[in-house]
Structure 1
Amino acid sequence: MRNTRWMGLAAVVCAAGLAGCGKKDEGPSYAFVTNGVASFWDIAKSGAEAAGQELGVDVTVLMPNGVVEQKQMIEDLVIRGADGIAISPIDPDNQTEVINEAAAATNLITADSDAPKSDRMFYLGVDNYEAGRMCGQLVKEALPDGGKVMIFIGRLEQDNAKRRRQGVIDELLDRSMDPTRFDPPAEVLKNDKYEILGTLTDQFDRVRGKQNMDDTLTAHPDLGCAVGLFVFNPPLILESLKSAGKLGQVKVVGFDEADETLQGILDGHVHGTVVQNPFEYGKRSIEILHALNQGDTSVVPEDGFINVPARQIRKDTAEAFWADLKSKLGE
């Protein structure tokens, strides 16, 4: 049953004569809400739209610029009567209320990043802590004798960002498995081989992201490895290294499958990257939401987690992976 708060708000909006009220007559409609604007989400959009075409349903993919806009998008989708919503929460700890209200009004799942304290039905994506440890393994390969490491990431409010970063740190420091551990981003951490200088965030600001790497190169001319954990971070790292004339001198390990990152692997400037499967995130989210709307609850996992495994991409697998990705995108 729909939450009465949303029903009342929807009635007010429609009574005011605003466009877009109500569901389309031609069939069910579903939405996929990302946590930002990035090439990663362009791939997820292709997957969601492919599922929509196959199922003959209406699919909307929305890419917010920040948590306020994401909240507004969720509220609007509920008012419009979306039959299901998949969302990658930006700040789950402070979005619980809006997520719970939307979950009371329609089928709601999280994809890519979770909101484990919310009433979402389940989470679809990678185990980000394990994926972070996979990234740490690549750093160990790139820098086998140890050295200084700096971590770059868009934001740390997201559940996936916290877990991914912690996985890298714990792997480099040879710690036990503990996804609940959290080291302060400004703290210098080290063991007998690796010194993790800190974690720098950019809040999806590309200029700031590149400046973070520029500043790191100035402050630490002996930097051994730069780790970029959001899709746009490795390309910014490469841009900074090129400007400084240090391509190949500082090891680079990435996350996700930006074209610049994959080309960097082929060129020998990036050791490797850990990739998710954003195409499947989009496609499977819409397929599952449609099944739920048709009354099929068998798609709901008992443990609340649908695992879409991450993979490590190195030079020997980069070309084949990239070709497959392009085929999915129709390129």
Structure 2
Amino acid sequence: MLRKTVENNMLLHKRRSWFFILLLLALFTASCQPAPPTSQVNSSEPSIIPSDRDRVFGIIFPMAFPAYEKITENAEETAKAANIRLLVSAPDEANLEQQIRIMESMIKQKVDGIAIAPVNPEALAPVINKAVEQGIPVICFETDSPGSKRLSYIGSDNYETGRQLGKATDLLLNGKGMVLVGTGMPEMDSLKERLEGLLNYLNDETEIEVLEVRYNDGREDLAITEQEEMINAHPHFNAFLSLDFVSSSASILIWKAYGLNRHVLSIGATPKIEEALLNGQVTSIISQYENQWGRKIIEALMKVSEGEIIPEMIDTGILKLEKGPQDDQR
């Protein structure tokens, strides 16, 4: 009888032990489950409403160059506020084949939108069309590709920008004198239009002589060589006119090295060029409000990805910067 009672107690003890073990396992499993998702919006962020899904936008610059870093920062700030991830890429130097490969890669990754500054708008039109046909909206900035299926162009009228550079030179030299001109890739439409606007203004409105025009193909080392050769060949020039970021950057280095006191007038406002303006190394800057491009790129791609229609051209305007009063041509 005693043995049977002991056996019954042992059995009851085992059952209670298993019960507690199972209970502990259940509690442990429940504690490991992830908490339900929560959504918080910081009211201090920009007014863009975060998306309910992850989107990826691509930005392709014509080359890797410090002038584009500020545009990238501006785009990243705007994208971060909308929970958008950016893929930013550029050829090491202005290069058509590399831009095409970057575009093809982004198409394969099925990004939600692409913004590109094409080094050769005609040659890049087929790959731009390919992206659009696969449902990836494409916009251009700085340089347009109107013959493609791109949805919009962000930037300024480059022909008028060239004319404004000519006007600033006219006012500075009182309609007379000799100038040298530096620019980038001859096949870039934006640069062709700027040069055309500049030359037409100087030929039609002034007696200023353009001694020489040199191209740097997007390479700062070549820009330095070309400018040095022009300066040596035409030592009595009155001003150097830059149509692109690379020529402007090279001129700052040359003016420091040579101690030149001739005028430099540039198209494109970057932190480096603006600093040179304050230091007296650059006389005037014709800006296309480049500091707005990054934000406008992201805003345009967001609208398109949400089914909205955007203008064929988003004009950022033209502004002349000088150390004195500014002449706003917007």
Q: Give the TM-score taking structure 1 as reference length.
A: 0.78
Aligned twin of 2:101? 72
Letter in 2 for 1:155: M
CA–CA distance in structure 2, aligned partners of residues 277 and 33 of structure 1: 19
Measure the CA separation in 1 of the matches of 2:105 and 2:325.
42
Aligned to 1:102: 131
Query: C-alpha displacement at 1:112, in angstroms?
Result: 1.3
CA distance in 2, matches of 1:123, 1:101: 18
* Paired position in structure 1 for 2:72: 45
- How far apart in 2 are the matches of 1:80 and 1:237? 40
CA distance in 2, matches of 1:62, 1:307: 24
Equivalenced residue count is 273
Task: Name the residue aligned to 2:299.
Answer: 287
The match for 1:151 among 181, 184, 192 is: 181
Residue type of the alignment partner of 1:108: V
Do the aligned residues in 2 keep the contact of 1:84 with 1:289 (CA within 8 Å)? yes
Q: What is the DSSP-based 3-state SS (H/G/I as helix, E as strand, rest coil) of the residue aligned with 2:307?
A: coil
What is the aligned partner in structure 1 of residue 230 from structure 2? 216
Larger radius of gyration: 2
* Gap runs ≥5 in structure 1: 1-24, 176-190, 322-331
**Residue 192 (structure 2) pairs with residue 142 (structure 1):** no
Residues 57 and 111 of structure 1: CA distance in aligned 2, closer, same or farther (over 3 Å): same
RMSD between superposed Cα atoms in Å: 2.0
CA distance in 1, matches of 2:300, 2:275: 34
Output the CA distance in 2 between the equivalents of 1:261 and 1:282. Answer: 18
Q: Distance in 2 between matches of 1:126 and 1:162?
A: 14
- Aligned counterpart for 1:305 among listed residues 299, 313, 317: 313
Tell me which amino acid in the other structure corresponds to 2:86. Answer: V
Q: Give the whole-Å Cα distance in 2 for the aligned partners of 1:142 and 1:237.
A: 18
- Paired with 1:94 and 1:26, the residues of 2 have a C-alpha distance of 34
Q: Which residue of 1 aligns with 2:213?
A: 199
2:268–2:290 CA contact under 8 A, matched in 1? no
Q: Distance in 2 between matches of 1:84 and 1:238?
A: 36
d(CA) in 1 for partners of 2:74 and 2:53? Answer: 21
> Matched residues, percent identical?
24
Unaligned runs of 5+ in 2: 1-51
Higher relative contact order (CA 8 A, sep 6+): 1
C-alpha displacement of 1:232: 2.6
